[in-house]
Structure 1
Amino acid sequence: MKKFLSAVLAAVLVLSLAACGSSSQSSSSSSAAATSDGSASSETAKVEPMTVRISAGPSGGNNFMICATFADLIMKAFPEYTVSAEISNGTAQNIRATAENEAQMCISMSDGAMYANEAGREYTDLEPGQFAYVAGGYQTIIHFMVPADSTVESVYDLKGAKIAASQGTTCQYYLPIVLEAYGMTVDDVEVSQLQLSDMMNAVNDGTVDAAFHITSYPLAAISDVAATTGIKILNIDGDEAAYIHENYPFFSSMVITGGSYQGVDEDVQTVGTLNTLICRTDLDETFVYNFVKTIMESTDTLSSVYPLCGNFNLENTLEGAVIPIHPGAEKYYKEAGIL
C-alpha cells in the first residue's frame, strides 16, 4: 500500500512539473548541466547512470513531497539518473537507512545529522564520520505556548508548571535544552509526553500550563486552539537564545511572524533548526554536484510545484551545515560564491 501511495504521489508531482511549461523544464535542465563557465553539459560531463534513494518521511508529508519533487526534477534534467523518494517515519529511520545504504541520501533535522555523524546521543551504535551535508531547507521552530489568559510571560515563570511536550525527540532532547538555558531541568517542572492533538487539547482544556512543540508554521492544530481558547507564544531570545546556539549549534534564532496565529500579533523571537539533506560520504561527487546545482537554480519551478521546496535556496542552504559538506556540494557552493 505504501508503495502504491508513493507511486501515486510521484505521478502527481510529475504532472505538476510538466505543467510548469517546457521553457521552465529546458531552463532547469540546461542550468543543471552547465559548469561554472557555462561550457559543460551533462553529456560532456559523462554522467554515469546510477540509482539514488532519498529516505524522506511519511507518505504525503512535507519531507516526502519535497524529496519526490526533487527526484522528478533531477530525472528530467539527467535521464541517466534514477532517483526516488522513500517513505519513512522520520529522521531517525532516515539516518539509519542511509547508514545501512538502503538509501544514499536523506532528510534530517540538523541535530540528527550532527549526532549521527558524531555517533552520539541515540546513534552511538553507528560508525562516526559517514555522513556529509548536501543542502539546508525549511525551518522548524520551537513553539512554547501558554493559554492567552495565563499569567506566564516568560519561560522563567514556568518553574513548577505542568508542561506538555510532543512525543519523541522534542520531549526527550529539545525541551531539556531550552529549560537548561533558563536555569532549569525537567525535574523543576512536571512533563507530560503527548501526541500533538492530545497536547493541544490539554492546552484547550486547561489541564496543562504550557505546551512545547517544534514545527514549521502556521500549524493547523495550533491555529485551531489559537482561534478558540487563544494562546501566547513565549519568546526565547537574548542571552538565553545565545546560550542555546553556543552550546547546541544546530539551534539558531528564528522568528514566528506576527499574525501567523490569531491573537499572536507581534513577532515571536524563538529558536529552531533546519530540515536538511544529508548523504553518505561515498555518494558520487558528480551526482551530488548536479543535484545541488539543479535544485539551487530551479527554486521558482520547484516552489510552483510544492512551496516548501523553495526554502532549499542559496540564501539559507548553509545555515544547517553542522557536519562536513560533501565535496560535490562544496564545489557548487564555491562556484555560487557562498563558500
Structure 2
Amino acid sequence: MFKKTVALITIALLLTAAIAGCAGKSGGQQAGGQKFITIATGGTAGTYFPLGGALADIWNKNIKGVNATAQSTGASVANVNLLKDGKADVIFVQNDIAYYAANGTEMFKDNKYEDIKGLTTLYPETVQIVTLAGKNIKSVADLKGKKVAVGAAGSGAEANARQILEAAGITYNDISAQYLSFAEAANNLKDGNIDAAFLTAGFPTAAVQDIAASKKIELISLDDALVSKLMEKYPYYTKIVIPANTYSGVDHDVNTVAVKAMLAVSSKMDEETAYNLVKTMYANLDRLKAAHKAGEQIKQETGKEGMSIPLHPGAEKFFKEIGK
C-alpha cells in the first residue's frame, strides 16, 4: 500500500512538471488540454481594457483550447514587467515603451528585456492634455505653477508628459506633478483638485468623456515648434489632429502628437500560438470595433507600421502570408 501511494505521488509530480514545462515553452499556461492566455491591458477608464476584453472573447470563441482573460493593469510599463515576470502572455504597450524595454533605455535603463517581441501594431495613441474652462490654460507653457496629473508613476503616459514638458522647457520642478491614473485624473479634475491632466490613449477616451459629461473641458493644442523639437529627439511621435466635436463642448480641431499602441509577447511563446492569435484577431475586427471606437483604426495592412521591436516569428509568418 505504501509503495502504491509513493508511486501515485511520483506520477502526479511528473505530470505537474510536464505541464509546467509545456507552459514555459509556449508562453501560455497549459492544463487539461487548455492554453491559458493572460492579456495585460490598462486602467478600466482607458482604451486597452475594453479592447483586451474583446480580444479574449475573439480568441476564446475561435481558437480551440484557448482560455484567454483580460486583466486591468497599470498599462505599458507595468505590462512589460508582467510579461518579463511570466505573469502575462500578451500585453498592450506603447511602441516607444516597447523600444525602451528592448534596448534598455529610459525607465528600463539597467533593466533591458530583449525577449519582448512584437505581435502587431494597432492604432495611434494620442497624447491629450485636458483642462477645464476657466483655468486660463491655453498652452503647455501655461502649466507652470499648476497642479498637473502626469499619469501613473512609471507609466507610458508619464513618459509622454515628461518629454512634452521637456520640449517646452518645463521640468517637474516647475509644476506640482500628480501621479494619477486616467480614472483618478478625471475624478480630481471634476473635483477641482488639479488644473490639468495628461492622458495617452486612443480617442475618444472614456476618462475624458466622463469629465466632459459634467464639466466644460478644453484640450490644449501643441504648437509646431514644440512638436518639431519633440520629434527630433523622440522619433516615435507623429503629428495627429483630434477632430472638432470628438468631445462634448470642444468644437475645434486640436493639434497634438501620438505614439502607437501595439501587442507584444515573449519570445518564449511558440510560433503556432503567436500566429493563431494575430491571424484570428484580424479575422474578427468587427468585435474590436464594437468594443471601442479605436478599433476602427485597427487594420492588418497597417499592422507593422510603427513596429519598434523585432516581430515574433509567428507574427512574421502571418504578415508574410498577407504580403506585408
**TM-score with structure 1 setting the length:** 0.71
Letter in 2 for 1:144: I
Out of 167, 186, 190, the residue aligned to residue 152 of structure 2 is 167
CA distance in 1, matches of 2:169, 2:110: 31
CA distance in 1, matches of 2:286, 2:193: 45
C-alpha contact 2:120 2:303 (8 A) present in aligned 1: yes
- 1:96 alignment partner in structure 2: 81
CA apart distance, 1:271? 1.6
Is 1:118 the counterpart of 2:103? The answer is yes
- The structure-2 alpha-carbon separation of the partners of 1:66 and 1:224, relative to structure 1 and needing over 3 Å to count, comes to closer
Letter in 2 for 1:129: E
CA distance in 2, matches of 1:97, 1:229: 36
Is 1:53 the counterpart of 2:56? The answer is no
Q: Map of 1:248-287 to 2, 5 A cutoff? A: 248-287=234-273
1:166 alignment partner, SS class: coil
CA apart distance, 1:126? 4.2
Give the CA RMSD over aligned residues.
3.3
- 1:40 alignment partner in structure 2: none
2:231 alignment partner, SS class: helix
**TM-score with structure 2 setting the length:** 0.74
CA distance in 2, matches of 1:315, 1:308: 16
Q: Deviations over 1:243-288 (max 9, x none)?
A: 3234224432233221022221112111233332101123222332
CA apart distance, 1:97? 2.9
CA apart distance, 1:139? 3.7
CA distance in 1, matches of 2:289, 2:69: 18
Aligned residues: 289
CA apart distance, 1:204? 4.7
Structure 2: 5+ residue runs without aligned partners?
1-32
Is 1:181 the counterpart of 2:158? The answer is no
C-alpha contact 1:249 1:322 (8 A) present in aligned 2: no
C-alpha contact 1:295 1:312 (8 A) present in aligned 2: no
- 2:21 alignment partner in structure 1: none
Letter in 1 for 2:217: I
C-alpha contact 1:64 1:85 (8 A) present in aligned 2: no
2:92 alignment partner, SS class: strand
Is 1:84 the counterpart of 2:46? The answer is no
CA apart distance, 1:239? 3.4
Structure 1: 5+ residue runs without aligned partners?
1-48
- The structure-2 alpha-carbon separation of the partners of 1:299 and 1:183, relative to structure 1 and needing over 3 Å to count, comes to same
C-alpha contact 1:54 1:67 (8 A) present in aligned 2: no
- The structure-2 alpha-carbon separation of the partners of 1:313 and 1:83, relative to structure 1 and needing over 3 Å to count, comes to farther
